[in-house]
A and B are shown apart, each in its own frame.
Chain A
Amino acid sequence: MIPTQFDYVAPATVDDAVRELADAGDDGKVIAGGQSLLPVLRMRLAAPAKVIDIGRIPELRGIRDDGDAIVIGAMTTHYEVQRDPLVREHALLIATATDTVADPQVRHRGTFGGSIAHADPAGDLLAPALAMDAVMVVAGMDGRRSVPASEFFVDYFTTSMNPAELLVEVRVPKYTGWHAHYEKFHRVAQSWSMVGVAAMVRTDGGTIAEARIGLTNMAAVPVRARAVEQALVGQAATAENIKAAAEHAANGTSPASDGNADGEYRSHLARVLTGRALSAAIG
C-alpha cells in the first residue's frame, strides 16, 4: 500500500497548475480531495510521475451566485455543498445527491469537482450534473472553455478534458422551486451506487410542467431518462402517472453486469427507483 515515487507540486494559481499539467504531459495527475486518487496510487493502479495538488488555489473553492446560475468551485468539498443555502435553494438535486455520498469523513475531504472530473460511472454527482445541464469550465494553456455536461462525460473514468486541462468550476443553471430527489441504491452505507436516479420536476398546479432525470451507473457515462421525462410532461402528478412513466426508465440503456447486479436487474432497479425518486421529489 505504498505508492510509487512521484514529484509533488502545490501551485497557488490556476495558471500555475495548468502550466504544471502541460509540463507533465501524460505523466501528470491532479489531486483534489484525494478520495479516489489516493487508493489508486496506493494500490499502484496508477503511477504518475507528478502529482499536482490543487488544494492551495483559493479561486477553486466556494459557491457563488452568478445571476441565472450558481457556480461551484471545483475544490468545494461535499460537506460545503451539503450545507450551502444557494445549493439548497437553486440546485436541490445536487444537495440531495451529495447527502448520499459516502460518509462524513469522505465528504469533508472529497470535492465536487474531483468527483465530476474522476467520472466514475457509479459516482453520484454526475447524473445530477447531466440532468441539470451543468456546464464545466475547464482551463488549459489556451485559456478557458465551457463544456456542457452532455459532452463532458465520454466513457468510464474519461472526460473530454485533455490531459493538460483542469476543471475550474461548474456552472449550474438555477432550478429555483423545482422538486428534486436523488434515489440511491447500494449494498452497504459506504458503498457505491448500483443504480442511482436523479430526478427533478417543476409542477404547475397539480400538473408536471417539466421533468429532468439522470441515471447513475446505467452506462459508462451518466444518461438522461428522456422517455420518462417526455411521458411526464403535461401529466397530473399522480402515483399512477409516475409509475407508468417510470416504466420507460431503462429504455435505450444496456447496463453492465457485475456480481451485485446483472443488466436485467439494473434495468428493473432503474424503473423502480425512478418511480420512487419522482414520488419523493414531488412529496
Chain B
Amino acid sequence: MTATAEPEVGKARLRKEDARLITGRTRWTDNITLPGMLHLAVLRSPMAHARIVSIDTSAARDMPGVVAVLTATDLDPDGEIGMPCAWPITPDMRHPRRPVLAATEVNFAGEGVAVVAARSAAEAEDALEHIEVEYEDLPVVLDMEAALAEGAPLVHEDLGTNRSALWVFDSGEAGTGGDVEQAISDAEVKLTRRFRQQRLIPAFMEPRSTVVDPTGPQLTVWSSTQIPHILRVMTAMTLGVPEHKLRVVAPDVGGGFGGKIAVLPEEMMAALVARKLGKPVKWTESRSDAMLTAHHGRDQIQDITISATRDGMVTGLKVDLLADMGAYLGLVGPGVPLLGAFMFNAIYKIPAYRFACTNVFTNKTLTDAYRGAGRPEATFAIERMMDELAAELGMDPLELREKNWIRHDEFPFTTVAGLTYDSGNYEAATERAKQLFDYDGLRREQQARRASNDPVQLGIGISTYTEMCGLAPSRVLGSLAYGAGGWESASIRMLPTGKVEVVTGSSAHGQGHETAWSQIVADQLGVPFEDIEVLHGDTQFSPKGMDTYGSRSLAVGGTALVLAARRVLDKAKPVAAHMLECSVDDMEFTGGKFTVQGTDQSVGIQDVALAVFAAHDLPDGYEASLDSDATFDPENFSYPHGTHLCATEVDTETGRVSIRSYVCVDDVGKVVNPLIVEGQIHGGLAQGIAQALYEEAVHDESGTLTTGTFADYYLPSAADMPTFVTDRTETPSTTNPLGVKGVGEAGTIASTPAVVNSVIDAVRHMGVDDIEMPCSPMRVWQAIQGGAR
C-alpha cells in the first residue's frame, strides 16, 4: 500500500449517505413493518383547556379492524407516569406531570386523549371519529403577561401559578463584572427595547414515527429521534423497564432541528400498548399532528436595556425575559433560555450584565430546543441593540461594534457572563465580509436612494455573532442543573480484512457523520475512505452516546474518534514491531504504515489487523484485539463566530422585503469537509432568514393553532432565498485536538438579526426603529405608515 498523498480532512467529498437518503430507499422508522404489527392513531383534543367529563370508546371498538381503544385509565390507571424533564433549572421549578394521555384535563389543543390500535393505519384513523369525548370548557390563557397577571386563569390549578421558574445571573453577584443597575443609572446614554421572539415550528422533513416490538428478549423501540441513547435511559426511568431490557434504534432520521430532542408521550404510549397487547405497534404522525404537537421553538418576550458612553463604549446590559413553556415542560425546555443567558454579551467587552428569565405556562404546545436554542434569541437581541445604539449615537454600526468587541490579541477572554472564549478573530472575518459585500459602495447607494426618494429603499444589516456550542463540558452542565453530562463516545473496530467499523455515540439525522467521520478516521489510521463504515443510532451496537444537538457532534464526538484511533495505533504498534522484528521505539507511523525508522521496512495497519485476527504470531502476552473505545469530555465549549452582512431592498409601497445580497464570513475553525460546512451554513441561513421574514406559529383566541399546514405556515423554499456569498476565516479552536468548532447552528443564530437590522436600516429615515418578526409585507408597510404619521 502506498502512502496516502492527500489528507482526507479538508476534502470536499460528496456525502456517502446521500444516495439512500435522497431517494428514500433506506430504513426510515415508518418503513419498518413487523409480523403482526398493529397501527396506532391518537385522538387529540381540539380544546386548548378543558376538563374531560367522559370518554366513550364503545362505538370505536366496534369499528372494522380495531383491536383496542385505550385511554389513560387503561395505560396508566394510577396516574403515575409523567414525561421527563431533564433540566430542572432551579430547585423550586414547578414541573406539572405531563401524562402519556390526558386523564382528567387537557391543557393544549393537540394533547392526546385516546389511542386506537387497529390492523391498518386507515382503520385506526377511521375509528378515531367514533370516540365520543365530552369536554367542559376551562378558561384559556395564551399570552405570557396575561398568564402572570393577578387572578389569571391557571393552566395547572394545583400549581397555584403560571410561573414555572425564575433564573437569574448577575455579574455583580457572580464576580464576573460590575453592578448593572449602577452602570445604567450612571450611563450617558441608555436605550430600552422590547423584542418578541415569535413562536416557530421546527418543521423537520420526516414526521415522527415509532415502532415498538415487545416480543423477544428486549423491548425494542425504533424511533425517528435525535437522541436514541437518552431515549433509552429516559424510557427506562419513565416506564420502569429495566434499562438492559431495552433496545432503542434511531434508523435513518429525516431531520430534527432540535424538534426530535424529545421523549414523546407517543413513544411511551406505543411501548405501553405494545406490552399490553403483546404485539408490535407502529405510530406515525401526520404532517398536521407534527405541526400541532411536536414541540415549538423560541416564543420569548425580551426586555433589554443597554447603557453606553457618548463615544460608544457599552457600559451595561440588562436582560429580562419571559419564556413561554407552553402547557408542560419539555425534556430540556426550561433550560433553553439559559443557553442564551451566556450569549447576550456576545463578542463585546461589556463590564456589567444581568439576566433574568421567567418561564411561564400557557395553554399552548410546549416549547423546547429548536436550532440554536436560546442563542439565536440572545444574538438577535444584542445585535439589534447594537444597531439601535449606533443610530442613537449617530455612529456607523460596524464602527460601534469594532469599538466594543474583543480584539484578536485579547484571547483567551473571560466574559462578563463567565465563559472563557478560547480564540477568535472578529477583525479578520469582518474585514473579509466588508470586501465581499462592498460595504462602502452599498452605503453610497443607500444615500442616493434616500436622496432621490426611491420607492425601493436599501438597507444594510449587520450581525457579528459568536455562539457557544459543542455541548458540552459535563461540569458546566452540572453547574446549570442539567440532568446529564456532555461527553461523547467512539469505538473503532479493525476487521480482519483491514476494513474499519466506526461506532459513534452521536446519532446523525442528516448531518453527514458517515462521510465526515470516515474522513477523520481515514487520516488517523491511514486507511482508504472507502474502507470505513460508520455505525450509529442503535443501542445494541452503540451502547454509549449523548447523541446529536447543540452543534456538538464534531467537536465532541469527532474528538472521541481521534482518541479511539490513537488507541488503535497504540495497540497495533507492538504487533507491527514484532512483525518487523524491531523495537517499538524504532517505529514511526505515517500514511497507514509502520516503518522502521531510517529503513524501507514497513507493514501496513491493515496487514497488522489480519495478523492480530490470526493471532498465530503475536508478541508474548499480547491481547489479540485492536478494537478501541474512547470517551471525550471537553473542558470548554467551542466558539464559532463570524460577520454576516445583509442588504435588503424594501418596497415602501407594498412593504415587501427582498434580500439583494447576503455575505457571511464564518470562522468554524478547522474544516473536515467544506461541502458539509457549506450545506450547514446555507440551511442555517435559510432557517434564520425564515424567522426574520416568514415563519410564525399563530394561535387564535381559543388556543387553536391557525398555522397548522404549510399553506399558512410560511416555510420558505429555495425559490425564496438569495444566492449566498460565503467565505471562511480559520482560527482553530483550542478546546479540542481537531481545532474544530460547531457549525450546525451558526447560520441560524447569525442571520435573523442581520436581516431585521437590514430591514430597519432601509426605513429608519422614515421614522421606523422596530418591526416585529416576521417582517411580513403588511407589518413593514404598517410600520412605514406609523413612522410617517
Contacts and interface: CB of A to CB of B under 8 A. Distances in A.
Interface of A: 1-2, 4-5, 39, 42-44, 103, 185, 187-192, 194, 259-262, 265, 268-269, 272-273
Contacts of A103: 717, 719
B132 interface: no
A192 B709 CA distance: 13
Nearest to B719: A189
Contacts of A4: 126
Interface in B288-333: 288
Interface in B734-789: 776-778, 781-782
Interface in B635-694: 653-654, 656, 694
Contacts of A39: 709, 711
A272 B651 CA distance: 11
Nearest to A269: B654
Closest 7 CB pairs between A and B? Answer: A189-B719, A1-B286, A2-B125, A187-B714, A265-B778, A2-B122, A188-B714
Contacts of B288: 1, 43
B126 A272 contact: no
B720 A189 contact: yes
Contacts of A44: 129
A188 B125 contact: no
B717 A190 contact: yes
29 contacts: A1-B286, A1-B288, A5-B126, A39-B709, A42-B286, A43-B709, A44-B129, A185-B656, A187-B694, A188-B714, A188-B715, A188-B716, A188-B719, A188-B720, A189-B716, A189-B719, A190-B717, A192-B711, A259-B698, A259-B706, A259-B712, A260-B778, A261-B778, A265-B778, A265-B781, A265-B782, A268-B781, A269-B654, A272-B653
Given A191-B711, A272-B654, A1 B287 contact: yes
Given A5-B126, A192-B711, A260 B717 contact: no
Contacts, number: 58
Interface string B712-740: 10111101100000000000000000000
A275 B287 CA distance: 40
B121 interface: yes
B206 to A, nearest CB: 14
Nearest to A191: B714
Contact of B717 (A1, A189, A259, A269): A189
B198 to A, nearest CB: 12
A265 B707 CA distance: 20
Contacts of A190: 717, 719
Interface string B119-155: 0011001100100000000000000000000000000
Nearest to B710: A190
Nearest to B706: A259
Given A1-B288, A5-B126, A272-B654, A188 B711 contact: no
Contacts of B712: 259
B292 to A, nearest CB: 12
Interface of B: 121-122, 125-126, 129, 286-288, 653-654, 656, 694, 698, 706-707, 709, 711-712, 714-717, 719-720, 776-778, 781-782
B654 to A, nearest CB: 6
Contacts of B122: 2, 5
Given A1-B286, A261-B778, 17 more contacts: A2-B121, A5-B122, A5-B126, A39-B711, A103-B719, A185-B654, A185-B656, A187-B776, A187-B777, A188-B720, A190-B717, A260-B778, A262-B778, A265-B781, A268-B781, A269-B654, A272-B653
Contacts of A192: 711
Nearest to B289: A1
- Dominant secondary structure at the A interface: loop
A280 to B, nearest CB: 14
B329 to A, nearest CB: 29
A260 B719 contact: no
B60 to A, nearest CB: 14
A2 B128 CA distance: 12
A185 B777 CA distance: 10
Contacts of B781: 265, 268
Contacts of B653: 272
A16 to B, nearest CB: 28
Contacts of A1: 286-288
B694 A188 contact: yes
A191 B720 CA distance: 11
Contacts of A262: 778
A5 B782 CA distance: 47
B371 to A, nearest CB: 19
Contacts of A187: 694, 714, 776-777
Contacts of B129: 44
A253 B781 CA distance: 21
A263 B509 CA distance: 44
Nearest to B778: A265
A187 B658 CA distance: 11
Nearest to B651: A272
A35 to B, nearest CB: 12
A260 B654 contact: no
Contacts of B656: 185
A44 B125 CA distance: 10
A5 B125 CA distance: 11
A46 to B, nearest CB: 14
Q: Which of B121, B122, B707, B777 has the most CB of A within 10 A?
A: B777
Contacts of A42: 286
Contact of A260 (B286, B287, B716, B776): B776
A271 B27 CA distance: 53
Contacts of A188: 694, 714-717, 719-720
Nearest to B695: A188
A182 to B, nearest CB: 16
Q: Which of B129, B653, B698, B715 has the most CB of A within 10 A?
A: B653
A162 B552 CA distance: 61
Q: Which of A39, A194, A265 has the most CB of B within 10 A?
A: A265
A2 B40 CA distance: 13
Nearest to A192: B711
A89 to B, nearest CB: 28
Contacts of B776: 187, 260
A260 to B, nearest CB: 6
Nearest to A266: B778
A78 B714 CA distance: 23
A196 to B, nearest CB: 13
Q: Which of A5, A259, A262 has the most CB of B within 10 A?
A: A259
Nearest to A261: B778
A121 to B, nearest CB: 14
A5 B777 CA distance: 42
A273 B720 CA distance: 20
B51 to A, nearest CB: 26
A43 B289 CA distance: 11
Contacts of A260: 776, 778
Contacts of B715: 188
A265 B653 CA distance: 11
A191 B129 CA distance: 31
A224 B288 CA distance: 36
Q: Which of B706, B714, B778, B781 has the most CB of A within 10 A?
A: B778
Nearest to B698: A259
A247 to B, nearest CB: 13
A28 to B, nearest CB: 20
Nearest to A190: B717
A187 to B, nearest CB: 5
B227 to A, nearest CB: 26
A62 B647 CA distance: 45
B720 to A, nearest CB: 5
B104 to A, nearest CB: 28
B199 to A, nearest CB: 13
A187 B717 CA distance: 11
A216 B540 CA distance: 58
Nearest to B696: A259
Contacts of B706: 259
A269 B707 CA distance: 23
A185 B712 CA distance: 15
